[in-house]
């Protein structure tokens, strides 16, 4: 195990460099309310980037924008005016093009003589490249706490781009998941109901954008975004969602509303005319160093999830459990990604290999490694009994562990046929050296991927939530038991090198041509806006025998 560096870094409320927080002189405080949701950028190419803001208005307005090479805006290279209105919820989205590759720029918006804060962004590099740094983030849940991980990224000078792998917002009502914590710290969801309509989704996005850490990160770094489930509803598939009931209307209408609000409120390119809005995937090419392929695994092809509750009565032996995995979970054609996206991934991987890039990255919403629940009873782990333990949590864990079943069935573990098909696709393209960057689980992971024939497919790095809590602690297990469970998962799963369920934070991944370093960074608290940052673990990753391996 690598030597753990517990370096502590004190971070302020926003964590944003002072220059980016300074409003232009002469502005009245009332005028600042025009741009209360801040500024953001993202979805870059080598010669363009998306610039975003929202203006507080009640009628159609024109918003001026400027992009410059310098922070003082003496060298303005692109500028224009964007007209917005109620139809797009007064959001402003500009594709600034004809830019220089791999270049940092500053941008701002103006209305009625009032300027937004200044944002900083950058285009994608081309040609020879020897360094790249990406922050991996996921699961920013407003009721559970402040987005201090975002603020820390804003201050992290090494980070060039932020990859958000989903659960950017959560759909739950104010009295739903996280409601108790929210009432204690004053972060209750708005609107108070579970979000279903377009206006609901818009209001929830607006609330999340006003978090101080969110304002800071978006102003400081360009975003590379994909969604997971909670941007629409918990555990969606191509024909519905676990958290959508008949009395909430037609699922297709709800999904359409959620995707429309997402495109309005995020710094990403709008769908091309005639393109399905659900088809959100990208290939970000970082010169001759790396390609990052982001995937859509929710709305375009995914088969309906299997529920353990529907099969528990038929699983009485280990043989029953294995049959369930082969015949139910592993049934052929239980898809995760669409044929169109499979073609896109194949083409992107082949292009990366042809360009002799050393790194092929996969932006992935849900854990890909095989993660089975160990037999906790056989290992002598005592389950504490207390009022804080979520009813059924212990029994669920014990039952899965007894039969060594997958931890969750909404992840790739619930779609083993689709996972093997994805690995086959990658291997046929010539790539068995994937570096998969994953969110969703609210835990840190260092995983070693293998196909069903134990052939190495690369490495998976998983990030903890920005504020969403790890499952064991959130379920009410004490810290000693949670630590034992983390260790047991690593010991009993050959694809799990290490996992951590305790922290919230992000992963900084730095690439050069020979190696990559993954640094797992945790914030000390999300219950208040003052915090420190510590390094929980650091891993070095290198190429080895046609795949990837950790340094020992």
Buried b or exposed e, range 151-180, using 16+ CB within 10 angstroms: bbbbbbeebbbbbbbbbbbbbbebebbbbe
The answer to whether residue 4 scores a pLDDT higher than 70 is no
C-alpha span between 302 and 288 (Å, rounded):
33
Evaluate whether 314 touches 398 at the Cβ level (below 8 Å): no
Find the mean pLDDT for residues 514-526.
98
Q: What is the pLDDT of residues 253-303, one digit of tens each?
A: 999 999 999 999 999 999 999 999 999 999 999 999 999 999 999 999 999
User: Residue 253: which residues within 8 A CB-CB, separation 6 or more?
Assistant: none
The residue written with tokens 């992935």 in the block is: 364
Q: What is the pLDDT of residues 139-150, one digit of tens each?
A: 999 999 999 999
What percent of the chain clears pLDDT 90, i.e. is strictly above it? 87
Q: Give the H/E segment covering residue 76.
A: strand 76-84
Q: H helices of 450-507, where?
A: 471-474, 479-492
User: Residue 79: which residues within 8 A CB-CB, separation 6 or more?
Assistant: 64, 65, 66, 67
Q: What is the DSSP letter of 267?
A: S
Q: What is the pLDDT of residues 107-123, one digit of tens each?
A: 999 999 999 999 999 99
Residue 380: per-residue pLDDT: 74
Residue 386: per-residue pLDDT: 60
Instruction: Pick the range with the lowest mean pLDDT from 28-37, 86-95, 408-417, 482-491.
Output: 28-37
Residue 387: per-residue pLDDT: 60
The residue written with tokens 């190419």 in the block is: 45
C-alpha span between 169 and 209 (Å, rounded):
10
Domains, the chain, in order of start with CATH, read 8-550 (3.60.21.70)
Strand partners, 185: none
Residue 480: per-residue pLDDT: 86
C-alpha span between 84 and 359 (Å, rounded):
40
Q: What is the DSSP letter of 325?
A: I
Find the mean pLDDT for residues 397-425.
97
Residue 339: per-residue pLDDT: 98
More confident residue, 52 or 2: 52
The residue written with tokens 């939530």 in the block is: 465
Per-residue pLDDT band at 506 (split at 50, 70, 90): very high
The answer to whether residue 128 scores a pLDDT higher than 70 is yes
Token reading at 131: 């360094």
Residue 23: per-residue pLDDT: 37
Residue 255: per-residue pLDDT: 98
Q: What is the pLDDT of residues 176-188, one digit of tens each?
A: 999 999 999 999 9
Residue 11: per-residue pLDDT: 41
C-alpha span between 382 and 394 (Å, rounded):
10
Residue 389: per-residue pLDDT: 66
Find the mean pLDDT for residues 351-356.
98
Per-residue pLDDT band at 28 (split at 50, 70, 90): very low
The answer to whether residue 18 scores a pLDDT higher than 60 is no
Evaluate whether 425 touches 348 at the Cβ level (below 8 Å): no
| C-alpha dihedral (264, 169, 213, 445), degrees to nearest 10 | -130
The answer to whether residue 391 scores a pLDDT higher than 80 is no
Evaluate whether 503 touches 486 at the Cβ level (below 8 Å): no
Residue 33: per-residue pLDDT: 82
Residue 198: per-residue pLDDT: 98
**What phi and psi values does residue 483 have, to the nearest 5 degrees?**
-65, -45
Evaluate whether 451 touches 423 at the Cβ level (below 8 Å): yes
pLDDT mean across residues, the chain: 93
Find the mean pLDDT for residues 100-109.
98
Residue 385: per-residue pLDDT: 60
What percent of the chain clears pLDDT 70, i.e. is strictly above it? 93
Per-residue pLDDT band at 381 (split at 50, 70, 90): confident
Residue 21: per-residue pLDDT: 42
User: How far is C-alpha 46 from the chain's CA centre?
Assistant: 23
């Amino acid at each position: 195990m690598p030597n753990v560096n517990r370096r502590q870094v004190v971070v302020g409320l926003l964590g944003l460099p002072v220059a980016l927080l300074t409003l232009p002189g002469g502005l009245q405080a009332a005028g600042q309310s025009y741009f209360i949701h801040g500024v953001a950028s993202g979805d870059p190419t080598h010669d363009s980037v998306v610039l975003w803001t929202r203006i507080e208005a009640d009628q159609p307005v024109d918003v001026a924008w400027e992009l410059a090479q310098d922070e003082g805006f003496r060298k303005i290279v692109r500028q224009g005016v964007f007209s917005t209105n109620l139809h797009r919820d007064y959001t402003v989205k500009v594709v600034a093009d004809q830019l220089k590759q791999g270049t940092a720029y500053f941008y701002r918006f103006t209305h009625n003589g009032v300027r937004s804060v200044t944002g900083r962004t950058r285009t994608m590099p081309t040609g020879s490249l020897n360094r790249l740094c990406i922050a991996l983030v996921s699961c920013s849940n407003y009721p559970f706490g402040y987005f201090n991980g975002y603020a820390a990224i804003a201050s992290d000078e090494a980070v060039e781009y932020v990859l958000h792998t989903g659960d950017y917002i959560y759909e739950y009502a104010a009295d739903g998941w996280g409601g108790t914590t929210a009432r204690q710290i004053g972060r209750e969801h708005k609107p108070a109901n579970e979000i279903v309509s377009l206006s609901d989704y818009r209001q929830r996005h607006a609330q999340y954008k006003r978090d101080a850490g969110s304002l800071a990160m978006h102003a400081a770094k360009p975003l590379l975004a994909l969604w997971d489930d909670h941007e629409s509803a918990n555990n969606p598939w191509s024909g519905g969602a676990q958290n959508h009931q008949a009395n909430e209307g037609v699922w297709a209408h709800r999904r359409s509303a959620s995707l429309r609000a997402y495109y309005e409120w995020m710094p990403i390119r709008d769908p091309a005319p005639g393109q399905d809005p659900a088809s959100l995937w990208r290939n970000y090419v970082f010169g001759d160093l790396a390609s990052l392929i982001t995937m859509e695994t929710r709305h375009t092809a995914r088969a309906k999830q299997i529920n353990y509750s529907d099969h528990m009565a038929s699983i009485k032996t280990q043989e029953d459990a294995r049959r369930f995995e082969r015949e139910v979970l592993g049934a052929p054609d239980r898809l995760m990604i669409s044929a169109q996206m499979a073609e896109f991934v194949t083409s992107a991987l082949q292009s990366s290999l042809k360009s002799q890039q050393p790194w092929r990255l996969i932006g992935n919403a849900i854990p890909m490694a095989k993660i089975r629940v160990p037999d906790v009873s056989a290992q002598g782990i005592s389950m504490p009994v207390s009022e804080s333990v979520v009813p059924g949590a212990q029994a669920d864990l014990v039952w899965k562990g007894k039969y060594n079943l997958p931890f969750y069935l909404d992840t790739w573990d619930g779609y083993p046929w689709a996972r093997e098909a994805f690995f086959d696709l990658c291997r046929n393209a010539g790539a068995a050296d994937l570096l998969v960057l994953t969110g969703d689980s609210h835990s840190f992971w260092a995983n070693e991927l293998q196909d069903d024939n134990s052939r190495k497919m690369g490495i998976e790095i998983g990030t903890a939530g920005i504020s969403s809590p790890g499952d064991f602690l959130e379920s009410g297990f004490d810290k000693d038991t949670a630590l034992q469970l983390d260790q047991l998962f690593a010991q009993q799963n050959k694809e799990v090198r290490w996992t951590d369920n305790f922290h919230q934070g992000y992963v900084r991944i730095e690439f050069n041509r020979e190696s990559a370093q993954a640094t797992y960074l945790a914030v000390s608290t999300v219950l208040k806006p003052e915090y420190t940052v510590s390094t929980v673990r650091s891993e070095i990753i290198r190429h080895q025998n046609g795949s990837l391996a950790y340094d020992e």
